[in-house]
């Protein structure tokens, strides 16, 4: 049975599907010694190498990694991609975790705070799909006073010229003179910074403190911890009904009358 290469890499804990697509495009993934192609499928018995490291043999289920879900407090200056274009240390190398893990979404180089890292591709997609409307909370300090008008404008949604789209309504609350909290249910590229710029101010510091029910709390900067069993169970509860498929894939599934079955993971306490 064939499977898309990017999905297989995600299932094997090598990287997310999005990262797999990028690595394939850059020629860093080989299948049976040959450069992989975008959209390629793999079948049982084929050998995959990613970034010079053996990723495994397709169909060898005994090689599947133990499911891992980490909460990480990412420091500023660390990037969430393995690309070298930023010429900065990436979070995977910085963390040095003994199992292969990769980030669920991103925090830009100048931002800090909570980042979830895992080796489970379906979990990544369920949390990341904006259509699933999962909350992410941030604490932001800007270079100007936070006014009632600013709060209302941010909360109502803003047109972002660079992205040619309007942000969804969100929850915004003033905390201090120049600091506010914001809860988003979408994840556009550098969204908060672009929103602040559209309101005539610049971000001085940006820290993510919550993703759904997982909170940063007292986790030290640069440290990580495995998500606790009760946290994970609540996360799964909130993910019920969420899908890991794109709109295009969903349409295809509806047309052939098939149904998505959520993964049943068992992360240790």
* Domains present along the chain, CATH in parentheses: 3-63 (3.10.290.10), 69-130+215-255 (3.30.70.580), 135-211 (3.30.70.1560)
- CB-based burial of residue 262 (10 Å sphere; 0-12 exposed, 13-18 middle, 19+ buried)? middle
In the set 21, 108, 249, 251, the catalytic residue is 108
pLDDT in tens, 185-198: 988 889 999 999 99
Q: What is the SS3 assignment for 220?
A: coil
Q: Which of 245, 155, 242, 240 is nearest to 192 (CA)?
A: 155
Q: Which of 9, 61, 16, 13 is nearest to 36 (CA)?
A: 9
Q: How far is CA 218 from the centre of its chain?
A: 22
Residue 81, token pair as written in the block: 């991609």
CA atoms within 13 A on the CB side of 165: 9
- Quick check: is 86 catalytic? no
Q: Which of 25, 181, 36 is nearest to 113 (CA)?
A: 181
Are the beta carbons of 153 and 187 closer than 8 angstroms? no
pLDDT in tens, 125-177: 778 765 557 899 999 999 999 999 999 999 999 999 999 999 999 999 999 99
pLDDT in tens, 18-58: 888 989 999 999 999 999 999 999 999 999 999 888 888 88
Whether 212 has a pLDDT exceeding 60, the answer reads yes
Sorting pLDDT into bands at 50, 70 and 90, what band is 208?
very high
**What is the model's pTM?**
0.76
């Amino acid at each position: 049975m064939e499977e898309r290469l990017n999905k297989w890499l995600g299932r094997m804990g090598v990287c997310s599907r999005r990262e797999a697509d990028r690595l394939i495009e850059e020629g860093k993934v080989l299948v049976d010694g040959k450069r992989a192609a975008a959209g390629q499928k793999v079948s049982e018995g084929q050998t995959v190498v990613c970034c010079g490291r053996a990723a495994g043999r397709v169909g060898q289920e005994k090689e599947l990694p133990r499911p891992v879900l980490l909460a990480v407090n990412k420091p500023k200056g660390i990037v969430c991609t393995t690309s070298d274009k930023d010429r900065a240390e990436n979070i995977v190398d910085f963390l040095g975790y003994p199992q292969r893990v990769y980030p669920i979404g991103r925090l830009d180089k100048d931002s800090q705070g909570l980042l979830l890292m895992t080796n489970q591709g379906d979990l990544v997609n369920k949390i990341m799909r904006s259509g699933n409307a999962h909350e992410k909370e941030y604490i932001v300090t800007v270079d100007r006073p936070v006014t009632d008008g600013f709060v209302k404008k941010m909360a109502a949604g803003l047109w972002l010229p660079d992205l040619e789209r309007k942000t969804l309504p969100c929850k915004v609350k003033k905390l201090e003179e120049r600091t506010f909290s914001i809860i988003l249910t979408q994840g556009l590229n550098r969204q908060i910074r672009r929103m602040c710029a559209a309101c005539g101010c610049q971000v001085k510091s940006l820290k993510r403190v919550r993703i759904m029910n997982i909170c940063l709390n007292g986790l030290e900067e640069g440290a990580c911890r495995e998500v606790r069993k009760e946290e994970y169970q609540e996360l799964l509860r909130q993910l019920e009904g969420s899908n890991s498929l794109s709109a295009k894939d969903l349409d295809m599934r509806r047309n052939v009358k098939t149904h998505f079955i959520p993964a049943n993971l068992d992360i240790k306490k």
